[in-house]
Each structure stands twice: as C-alpha cells, then as structure tokens.
Chain A
C-alpha cells in the first residue's frame, strides 16, 4: 500500500508557500495604483484509486489569478473619461470666470467711468480738462478691452498647447499598450497559458490613463486588446500602435486640430468625433465657451467703437472740424479654408475676435466732437412767434452742406409758405408724420406749424406763428465751444439698445456674457462633481473586488502559516512512521 504521505505533505508545503508568496505580493502592493489582488487557486491533486477507495495525493496550485471584473473596469474607464473632460473644462474656464466679473479686471467699471467722463464733458463742454479726462477714460477703456482679450486669447493658447500635449500622451500610451499587448501574448505562451497578472494590470492601468485623455473603447481579440478612441478611431490594433498628430485647423488658423496619419496621408479628425477625457474637455471649452466669449467681447468692441465713431463723425470738434473716427476697429479677416478646392473668395466687413484690434486713433482730447455741426437761429427782428429747433444732422453730413448758411423767409399768405432753400437742394418736409419729398429747386414750401424740414442732411422743425418777413437761418455752428449737443447723443449710447438687433445695450450684453460664463462654469463644476462621485463609486466597487484588504491578507497569512506548520508536522509524522518501521528489526 504505497501511500505517499511525504509527497502529500510536500505538496501542502509548496501550496502554502505559494499562498504566502501571493499574500506577500498583495501586502506589498496594497497601495500600488492599478494593482489587482491576486489569489492562488488551490485544487486537490488527483486521488489514487485503490480497491478500498481513493486516497488523496495532496494538493496543487492550479493558477494564480487576479480578482478582476471586466465590466467594472470598463465602467471606471468611461466615468474616468467623463470626469476628466469636466475637470479639464473647469480648469480652463475658471480663470475666465474669476476674470469677467472682477471689479478691477472686468469691463463693467471702465465702461461706466468712460460714460461718466462723457457726461461730465457734457456739463462742461468748453473745458479742455474735461476733454482730457474723457480721452484718458477712453484710453483706459481700450486698454481694458485689450487686456481682457489678451487673457481670453491666452486661454485659447493654453487650449492649443493642452491639445498638443494630450496627443503626445495618447501616442506614448498607444505605443506602450501595443508593447504590453505583445508582452502579454508572449507571457501566456511561455507560462503554459497562465495569465501574466502584472502585465494585465499594467495594460488596464494604461487604458485607464488613456481614458483620462480621451474616450476609449476596448475590444479584446484573443489575449490582445484592440483600442479605439473617440467614435471608433482605431489607436492600437494588437501589437501595432497608430499615431496621432496635431495640425492647424483648415478653417481657423488660431486653432489646433487632431489628425490621424494613415499611409502617409494626414487626415484631421472632427472635434465632435473625439469626445471625453481632457482632450474632449479642451475641445468643448474652445467651442462652447472660448469662441462665444471672444465673439461677445469683439461684438461689444465693434458696436461700441462704430457707434461712437458714427456719432463723433456727426459732431464738431472745438477746432470747428467734423469729428473723425475715435476708435480703430479690427480690420476684417477672411479665413479661407485651406482645404477648399474651388477658387471662390469671400470678402467680409467685420469679423471676430474684434476686441484685440480695438484701439484709439488719437490721444488728442480735442478730437472728441462735443458740438453739433449746425446751428439754427431766428432773426432778432422777427415779430412773429415762430420757433426753430436747434436742428440735427444725419449720417453723411459734410460741413459744405451747411455753408453758406441758408436763410428761410416766411410769408403768411395764404397759403403760408417758407422759401429761400438752396436751389440745388431737395427738401423733404414731415407734417404730422407724413413726409413729402420736394425736388430741387424747392421754391416756396407750404408751412404748417410743427413741421419738420430736412435738406442737405440737416433736419429742424418750425413751429409757432411767424409773421411775414420773419427769417430763420440754419448754418454752420461757428465758435460754439460751449455746445454739448453731440456729446449728449454719445452719452445716450450707453443705455441705448444698440446690440443684438436693438434688444440690449453694452452693459446688457456684457452681463449676458458674465451670466453665460458663470452658468457654464457652474454647470461644468456641478456635472464634473457628479461625474467625479460616479467615478468614486465605480472605483469603490471595483476596489471591493480587486483591492487589497490588509486585514484579510493578515488572516490569509496566518492561515497559510498554519497550513505550512501542519504540513511540516505531516512530513515529520511520515518520517517518524518510517523510522518506526525501520526500528522494527531490533538492531536499534
């Protein structure tokens, strides 16, 4: 009856040793990122059959496996992707969030102080000090616009460099993954198709790292994993890694795009096809936040600049000249898509970002045209009660329109008329909302009290009851250094709804911008927090399977230790039994 007790004990010792080694591995790697708890799976050795029954032949370790759940791993990877996306978005937008409403950096305070200085100028139009203050405020306004735009553009540069560095990381990860795939293939082969656990951990860790960069899909094929990023872009096929690169966007030279090189042809990947991860977050920031902020700032700069320029051009400076443009507005830029194949050319008049090209054409305070360029007067000898409004000019007015001055003479009639219009001027009159055009020469025009009269881009109203022979003069506004009519109109621009199809003023649009930035930041932070807690939950779940619990390992250690001791005792018993048999010959 050759029952091999020694062998049984020896197999137990070996199994306990493997168990202790595995436990040791678990303990030492308890805090190693990506480590999965390993378990030595022990099975009975095949029993020897005898005619009295089967006797066990000891134990053996069939394999050492990881405590691992594929589903939980991929859940971690997808939540990791989403969480990283929002973290990246949040990191990029938070500086802008702090910037736009900062009283010392935002647009609001300078906008207000600029218009305050214009208001003060309107109270004191002849004062050079007031003009100087207004011009200084304009300089501050422009400087603030430029500084804001610089900081916003800085965020664009950061986004571009983030895209480059992400692409580099993705390429590095891809190459490592391809190498690990290869090593795993070999690992299975050399160890009798046993799992190379540490390599598997390493691959999972790399995939997780890749998930932080972009969205990843894993499709196992044999022992190797094929890795796809975004919406199905193959990155690693078995042991072959594809590489990505960055190219300048064909439609916007300020933006970098990710491209894929295949057979020497570089093909840009659509942003929308690369969601998730830091890369997706950066793209989302650029498209959903950065461009609208740039557009909004540019829009305010352009409308503000052109509205003030237009109003200044309708006014007269203290030197008696018509006002010139005060602000420079970004020159239009047309970006031709470099991938266009046709020969079509587009021309544009305005584009964004506008705020960076926003500047002052002059620092000469006397270039602010406070006065209206025309003045009206009624003869001091008039005996009637006719009253004439100060008059205004419309776009296109030139000083020659008011020179020489035009004196209109009233005749009571009937019919009551006014005459004396320049022979070459077409006149239009508005009575009770009804406009009548009178071709040149106008001759005697019928008079109605309250009528509005326009010619040569000048408009004024006459009312009251003039007496025959009463004269009314409209002409150049000479020496009118105390005139503030035009600066009053400039003031009105602050609260006028000049933007968004006449529904908002500058401050309103800026408030909308602040609101949008705040909302996006808040939304990104909230969603980010949700994604982070989902990630935490998924990680906990995965750790509950794959993580190392030191107390458990301690218990296992004690258990294996005791098994080892017991097996030692078994061998000792077997050995004593053998000695007992040997001592039966009586010689000892």
Chain B
C-alpha cells in the first residue's frame, strides 16, 4: 500500500501518545497500590468494593458497639458482685438474729448492722457510670433509682433496658433495670403476704392469701385487728385508703378472712391488740429489710413464747425473701454473663468476617504488583523499540541518498 509521508509521522505521534498513557496508567496503579483508579477501569469491582467497604465498616462498628456493650455489662456485673456479697452477709445476719438466745441489745446491734448493710445496698443500687448516669434506673439515667421511704425505698426509674446492636440481626440488653434486681421478690406466684404484727402477744398465725375473687383485687395493703382476749371479733381495714372493709365480725379459729378479693385463714387464739398486715406479694429488698429491722427493734414484746414465734416467723420470711432477692440478682448476673459470652463469641465471628472483608476488598482493588510490574516492563520495552524503529525509519529518505 502507498503510504503518505505525513501519515508516517502522524502514526508515530499517535502510537507514542497511546504508549505513554498506558505507561502512566501502569505507573499510577503501581505507585498508588490501587488497581481501581477510577470506576471505568472495572465497573463491577468498583461497585462491589463499595458494598464490601460498607460491610466492613458496619462490621467494625458492631465491634465498637460490642466493646461498649461489654464495658457496660462488666461494670454492671462488678457492682452486682458487690450486691451478691452484701446479700449473702444479710442472710448470715438474719440467721444470727433468729437465734433465740439473743437479748434485746444483741438484736438492736444486728438491726444496726442490717441498717448499715441496707445503706450500702442502696448506694450500690444508686451507682453511676463514668458519665455520671445512674446505671439501674432504666432509661431515666438522670433519675436516682431508689429513694428511701418510711417503708424501705421506692423505685423511681422506668423499666426500659438499653439495647445495643451487636450484630446485623442481634440486639442485646446492656443495662439492667433496678426493679428487676432489687425488687420483684415473690414468695410464690399470685400470693399475698400476711405478716403478724410485731407487738402480737399471741401465737396465732395467718396464712398467706390467695385470690378468690379477682374482680375485687385492689393491690392495697390491709390490716386485721381483734377485740377480746381471746379474740371474739375481728375487723379488716384497707390501710391504703383507711376504709373499714370488714366491720367487726365474730371470730372462731380457724377463721377465714376475705378482703379485697383475697382469702386468708387465721389459726390459734389472737388476743386484743394483735394485728396481721396483708401486703401484695411483690416487694423490694429495702421493704423486706425495713420490715426485718422493725421486727428486730421491737423484739418479741413481753418476752413470751408467742412473741418469740412471731419474731421468728418474721425473720424466716425475711430470710426467704432475701434468698429470693439473691436469686433474682444471680439470675441477672447469669444474663449478664451470657451476654458477655455472646459478645465474646461474636467478636471472634466479627474478626473472621473483618479479615474476609479485608481480603475481599484487597482482591478487588489492590494492584497485583507482579502483574502490574511486568506489564509496565513490557510497555517500556515496546515504547523503546518503537522509538528506535521510528528514529531509524525516519532516516529513510530518498533525498538523503541523492546528496
């Protein structure tokens, strides 16, 4: 084919341009270490890298979330370990107090000890985290969870646990609500407590109540009192409202007492002035301890056998309530432990996943150095060869021969 002289030069220029831009592209890939210098180089890989990067960044974030969750869980757990110790010492103190050989001074000492332990427990219940937020008041972190009342203490927080997203599809609670730890003491489901008055002089007993007419259940506290020694009449007052719900009625042991939809049975021979308190069967530890302290302080009254029995009954009930509460605490610590275990195993999964993402991203976007370097070497060789070829062919002019 006939070749025009101008096109020889134009071709050379176009080829040199192409080779130089290929060399520049290879150099860029090698020096940046990134094969995807722009999406057009490999559109599919570019999109996949974005998706993988998001996956990787979410995975990393879940790792951060897990570490935050673990901090919060282990802080709670270490406080609850203190609570466990205190409750175990409470059990010992109550057992000591229930020994019949104690005099009133001993009982008063133990009451003081119990009061001290209860205060410590209250301090733990009102613990704050490093940010000054209350740890056991649900999501109302600015509200002190327990404040002392004449009956013990009342819970002021709410019942929301804070959740943490520790994995794509998994949220775990990272806080524990105070009322779950320190409250919710039920001797048996659906039961209502009956407590003999601390000044009772007889050995009469009253069974725990059962609901017999749900429509009438109020949740109020009630009190039974007697007239006559031995008792000939009893009456029931709703102490929450002050209303007399059972007016003075004839008493005969065993006497069935019905108030607020609940039915109790009184056995024995109560004397005038004896009282039984009926409370909803769900209390917090501070109410239990306050009841126990009050019982200890007032003692068996006139040191008769009935008073001793009543005191002993009260302390036994306190003891079983403390055990129930301790069980609640241990349950919560179990949950915390489980959560921490879950976090630890998810951490392993997260690490493996993170490695997989890194490898995937690296496969997609990293320069294959060996390949790129040999490509560059090839391009350089071709370029040099092209230069040399041009420099020799451009000499081929008839005119230079005619001189």
Interface residues of A (CB under 8 A from B): 30-31, 37, 94, 97-98, 100-101, 108, 111-112, 115-116, 119-120, 122-127, 371, 375-385, 390, 411-413, 465, 467-469, 471, 477-485, 488, 491-492, 494-495, 507-508, 510-512, 514-519, 521-522, 525, 536, 539-540, 543-552, 554-555
Contacts and interface: CB of A to CB of B under 8 A. Distances in A.
Given A115-B61, A122-B164, A507-B54, A480 B47 contact: no
A536 B190 CA distance: 94
Interface stretch (B80-88, B209-217, B251-259): B209-217
Contacts of B171: 488
A98 B38 contact: yes
A283 B46 CA distance: 26
Most buried by A among B6, B49, B261: B6
Contact of A484 (B49, B162, B183, B214): B162
A517 B211 CA distance: 73
B155 A548 contact: no
Contact of A515 (B11, B46, B61, B397): B46
B50 interface: yes
B139 to A, nearest CB: 4
B57 interface: yes
9 contacts: A111-B54, A116-B57, A379-B219, A380-B284, A482-B142, A514-B43, A518-B46, A525-B40, A545-B2
Given A413-B214, A515-B44, A508 B131 contact: no
B163 A488 contact: yes
A495 B40 contact: no
B173 to A, nearest CB: 10
B57 A518 contact: no
B64 A480 contact: no
A491 B190 CA distance: 41
A482 B133 contact: yes
B265 interface: no
Given A120-B68, A547-B4, 5 more contacts: A383-B282, A468-B217, A469-B214, A484-B162, A543-B6
A303 B18 CA distance: 44
Interface string B39-70: 11111101111110110011001001100110
Interface pairs A-B: 8 shortest CB-CB: A547-B4, A518-B39, A468-B214, A469-B217, A518-B43, A482-B141, A521-B40, A515-B47
Interface of B: 1-7, 9, 11, 14, 36, 38-44, 46-51, 53-54, 57-58, 61, 64-65, 68-69, 131, 133, 137-143, 155, 158-160, 162-165, 168, 171, 175, 179, 183-184, 186, 189-192, 211, 214-215, 217-219, 261, 280-282, 284, 397-399, 402
A55 B57 CA distance: 98
A112 B282 contact: no
Contacts of B69: 123
B227 to A, nearest CB: 30
Most chain A CB inside 10 Å of its own CB: which residue of B39, B160, B163: B39
Given A122-B165, A380-B179, A97 B214 contact: no
A518 B38 CA distance: 7
B38 to A, nearest CB: 5
Among B41, B43, B184, the one with the most A-chain Cβ atoms within 10 Å of its Cβ is: B43
A488 B165 contact: yes
B47 A467 contact: no
B162 A97 contact: no
Contacts of B159: 375-378
Contacts of A127: 131
B50 A507 contact: yes
A383 B190 contact: yes
A83 to B, nearest CB: 13
Given A383-B280, A482-B175, A101 B46 contact: yes
